[in-house]
Structure formats: C-alpha cells, structure tokens
Structure 1
Amino acid sequence: MTLAELVPLGVKISIVTIVFALGLSARPRDLVHLVRHPALAARSALAIMLVMPIVAVLLVKFVGLSAPVAIMLIALSLAPTPPILPRKQLKAGGDASYAISLLATMGLVSILWVPLALELIQRVSGLPLGIATPKVASVIAVTILIPLLAGIALAYFAPALAAKLAPIVSKAGLLLLVVVALLILVSQWRHMAGLVGDGTVLAFVAFVVVGLAVGHALGGPDPSDRTVLALATASRHPGLALAVAHVNYPDAKALVAAVLLFLVVNVIVSIPYVVWRKRAGAAGAVDL
C-alpha cells in the first residue's frame, strides 16, 4: 500500500477513533437533546443549513473564485458539523449534550438535505453540482453515526470499561490525526500556496467569521449553547465536502488543498472566539 493510499485511510481511522471515544463519554439521552429543545433545533438548522449556504453562494458570486474552489466552498457550506468538532466545543465551554446531539442530528438530516440543496443551488448558480444520496449516507454513517452509536452503546452496557477506554482511545485517535495532518500539509503545501492571493483565503475567512457571528446570535440565551452553535456554524465536515467536490471535479488537484486551507483558516480565525468563550465561562463559574 502506497503513502497516497495510507493517508486517507489514516484520516478515516483517526476520525472514527475520536468519534468512538466521544461516544464512550456520552449517554443515550444526549442524542435526543435537540428533540427535547425544538426551538434550539430550529435555530441550529437555520444557522447551519440555510444561512451559511446562502453566504457561500454570495461569496462565490462576488469574490470570483475558480470553479473547483467555488464548488468546494458550497460543498463545505452544506456539509454537517465535523466529527472532531465536539472536542473543541467542549474545551470552549460548550454543552456536551447539545454538541453530541447536534453532531448526530445534522448528520442524519444531511443525508437528505445535501443532495436536495445541491440541486437547488445548481439551478440558481449554474454551477455543476450533485451527489447521490447513498454516497452522503455512506460518509455520514462511517465517520459519525456508527462510531458514535457504538461508543454510546458500550458506555451504556459497560460504563466502567468505557470510562477507562475513553481517554486512551481519544488520545490515540488525536495523535494519529496529527501525524496524518502533518503528512497532508507537507504533500499539499505547494497547492495550498497557489490558492493564496486569488480570493480563496478572503472567502474562507469571511465564511468562518460570518459563521461564528450567526451561530452565536442564534444560539439563544444559554452561553454554552451559543458557543456550540457558533463553532458548528463556522466548521464543516471535510470528508463530505471532498466527496461532493470530487463527484463534480474528479480531476481537480486543488480540491484537497482547498479543503485543507479552509481547515487551517478555520482554526486560526476561531482562536479569538474560543479564547473569549473560555474566559467568559471561567468568569461565570467564578461569579457562581
């Protein structure tokens, strides 16, 4: 097996491992948190699935991105929250039940929403867009639903074992992800540099900033919910976005570089918000 084949496999294994570890620390009732809070669920869907695709289409129209990058941005705007995001949300002071429920719920809804939304955007923008529902379902099932449900099931039937495994599995998955990410950065650095200066970075920065603002505004009165939704609205599932983009531009070499550049921009731009939410949470704890 070549390095080019090992890297994608390493990404999948690391993501599955991290999500499984998340499930080991979760409870079955966490999955239905949004069912018990329908107003929050509606605001979450509005922010992630309606507002941000509109923002992406506007950025594509006014920034003048290349066709492959434009499709990647639209694909990112439609993808659900990334599988490893709950770790970041919890560290920033977000509510665990909401973060887990949002991950699972948006993933399920995306199976039907992504193909439908791509068809609608294609008619409006004229860009060649489309992906089969089974392909979306496969990505969501493998990277989110199966490992998350498996972890929750083990935690329910063997809580002591799950508690011991959770930190070990989480650290192993994170370590593998860091190693693979460094390999990808080295291999894609030149392609990423080629996207600097053509409006791609500006579009990605604008997407993340607007996502943070929209999610925070629609998160409701609970500060922890605002933190979760802000980070979820600004972040996207790279695997699903790549799947959508590759279907429409199978030979475009800029796709992996574009999604990697988005992830780098997302991390950097989100740092001030995460620091602010951590400090706000700490101040609130002291006041209590």
Structure 2
Amino acid sequence: MTWAQLIPLAITLSMAGLLLSVALETRFGDLLHLLRRPSLLLRSVLAMNVVMPLFAVALGLAFVQQLEHAVVVSLMAMSLGPVPPILPGKELKAGGPRAYTMGLVFVSAALSIVLVPAMIALLGHVLDKPVQISMGSIARIVATWMLLPLLLGALVRHAAPALAQHVVRPLAIASGALLALACIPVLLQVWPKMLSLLGHFTLVAIIVFTLAGLAIGHLLGGPDPDERTVLALSTCTRHPAVAIAVLHAEPDRASVLAAVLLVLLVGGIATGPYVKWRAGSHAPAGSRHA
C-alpha cells in the first residue's frame, strides 16, 4: 500500500476512532433520542437539510462572479452532509446535551443516505446542472465510518461499561494524534492551492456561510439553549468526506479538495467565539436533558 493510499485511510480511521471514543460514553437510548422527540427531529432536518442547502445555493449564486468555481460548489456540498465525527466532542464541551448531540449524529448519518442524493438531484434540476450520486456511495461512507462506530461504542458501553470507561480516553488521544499527523502531509500538499483560492471574496463567503449556519441552527433549535448550541454547530459544519464524494465528478479534484478543507478550517475558526460563548453560558449539567 502506497503513502497516497495510507494517508486517506489513516484520516478515515482516526475520525472513526474519535467518534467511537465519544460513543463509548453513549447509550443506545441516546442514539434514538430524536425518535422520541419528533418536533426537534423535524426542526433539525429542516435546519440541516433544507434551509442550509438553500442558503448555500443562494450564497453561491450571489458570489458566482467573485468566487472560484471550486469554492462555490464546495460551499454547496458542505451544506448537505451529516455531522462530522470531529464535531460531537466540540459540541459536548460547549454544553450540548449528550442525548441530542449523539442522537443528531446518528440520525443525520442515517438520513444522509437518502437525503444527500435527493437534495443533489433537486439542486441539479433547479440549477440546470444535473449531478448524480448513488445512495450506495453515501451509504458506504456513513455506514462504515459513522453508524458502525456509533453502534459499536454504545454496544461496548452496554455490555462492558468498565472496559468502555478504561479505553475511552486513550482511544480519543490516539485518534486525535493520528488525525493531526495524517493531516499534515495533506495540508502541505494542498496549501498552495488553498492560498490561491483565498483571493476575491472567498473568506467573506465562507464566514457568511458559517455564521448563517450558526444562526439557522440556533433559531430552529427550540427553547433549550444547549440544544440550540448543538443544532447551530451541526448546521454549519458537515462531513468533508461526504462533500468530496458529492463532488467526485468535478474535473479539478485538487481545487475541490483544497476548497472543502478551506471551508472546514475557516469555518472551525469562525465558530470559535460562538463555542466560547455557549461553553460559558450553558445550563448546568443537572438541568440538561439526559
């Protein structure tokens, strides 16, 4: 196996490991939490899978003359996928209730198998630029690298809680370190391309995209401020692997990869003040939903 094959595999495994480490402290009931709260489920789907993609399309069309094509399509693609594995830990630290945080990860991953291809077909029809992606390609990503770690972690917690508690921290540290190391050569490779995309209104567009996602999720998150935090962060931050899969037919794949990573990095920085604000003002743990 070559380095070109090992590095993406290491990134994928490390992200799955991070998700597994969070799932080791999660109950099966947490994963199914949204099925017991249909109103919150509906608002979550509305924010993540309807309003945010429509805003991304409107933003892309508004900046279509100023932005590189790779940035425009990456913004649209990054509005479609499920919650990324790197986000639940951040949401929990910001005060998000574990049941809703993990339930949203699980449901968004499962629904993305159907909703991502459906939204792509709809947007392609509206924009008169047909793009096709099979449910199978999305299913392979989310089932193997998201649903499986979630279910495995909850199973280990249920069957062997002492073991789960013993391995959760080492697994999280090892996965985080592997992700950081594996990302270094990728960033070094795409860095010149990322810099070339920074001209014009790229940063402005990505920041507007991120802030709009925060606002959409926060407003549709309901009366619980901690649930608002989770939906806000989940609406503006999506799985990069799904976005790259969506853009598989783009001819300039190097620019697409650079643009997706740029959206992820700039978005992560732009959400910093919001996370700090929510972490400092969230409700005490005893008052949050179990």
Deviation per CA, 1:16-64: give whole Å up to 9, x if none: 1111111111001001110111111111111100011001110111101
For 1:249 and 1:157, locate their aligned partners in 2 and report how far apart those are by CA, in whole Å.
Answer: 45
Report deviation, 1:250. 4.7
**Structure 2 counterpart of 1:141, which letter?**
A
Q: Is the aligned partner of 1:13 residue 2:22? A: no
Q: Is the aligned partner of 1:69 residue 2:67? A: no
Q: TM-score, normalised by structure 1?
A: 0.95
- The count of residues paired between Structure 1 and Structure 2 equals 285
Q: CA RMSD in A?
A: 1.7
Q: Is the 8 A contact 2:71 2:197 kept in 1?
A: no
Deviation per CA, 1:89-110: give whole Å up to 9, x if none: 0011111110100001011111
The runs of 4+ residues in structure 1 deviating greater than 4 Å are none
**Structure 1 counterpart of 2:24, which letter?**
L
**Structure 2 counterpart of 1:27, which letter?**
R
Deviation per CA, 1:71-123: give whole Å up to 9, x if none: 22211111111122100000111111101000010111110111111111001
Q: Is the aligned partner of 1:181 residue 2:183? A: yes
Q: Is the 8 A contact 2:121 2:130 kept in 1?
A: no
Gaps of 5+ in 1: none
For 1:285 and 1:120, locate their aligned partners in 2 and report how far apart those are by CA, in whole Å.
Answer: 42
Identity of aligned residues (%): 41
The answer for the alignment partner of 1:227 in structure 2 is 229
**Structure 2 counterpart of 1:145, which letter?**
L
Give the alignment partner of residue 214 of structure 1, picking from 216, 225, 230. Answer: 216
Q: Is the 8 A contact 1:71 1:127 kept in 2?
A: no
Q: Is the 8 A contact 1:75 1:244 kept in 2?
A: yes
The answer for the alignment partner of 2:115 in structure 1 is 113
Gaps of 5+ in 2: none
Q: Secondary structure at the match of 1:83?
A: coil
Q: Secondary structure at the match of 2:53?
A: helix
The answer for the alignment partner of 1:154 in structure 2 is 156
Q: Is the aligned partner of 1:39 residue 2:6? A: no
Deviation per CA, 1:239-276: give whole Å up to 9, x if none: 00001111x21543201101110111111100000010
Give the alignment partner of residue 239 of structure 2, picking from 237, 240, 252. Answer: 237
**Structure 2 counterpart of 1:217, which letter?**
L
**Structure 2 counterpart of 1:230, which letter?**
A
The answer for the alignment partner of 2:146 in structure 1 is 144
The answer for the alignment partner of 1:269 in structure 2 is 270
Q: Is the 8 A contact 1:47 1:215 kept in 2?
A: yes
Q: Secondary structure at the match of 2:247?
A: helix
The answer for the alignment partner of 1:56 in structure 2 is 56
Give the alignment partner of residue 135 of structure 2, picking from 133, 136, 156. Answer: 133
The answer for the alignment partner of 2:30 in structure 1 is 30
The answer for the alignment partner of 2:199 in structure 1 is 197
For 2:5 and 2:203, locate their aligned partners in 1 and report how far apart those are by CA, in whole Å.
Answer: 28
Give the alignment partner of residue 103 of structure 1, picking from 92, 102, 105. Answer: 105
Report deviation, 1:129. 1.9
- Comparing 201-210 and 103-112, the one that deviates more: 201-210
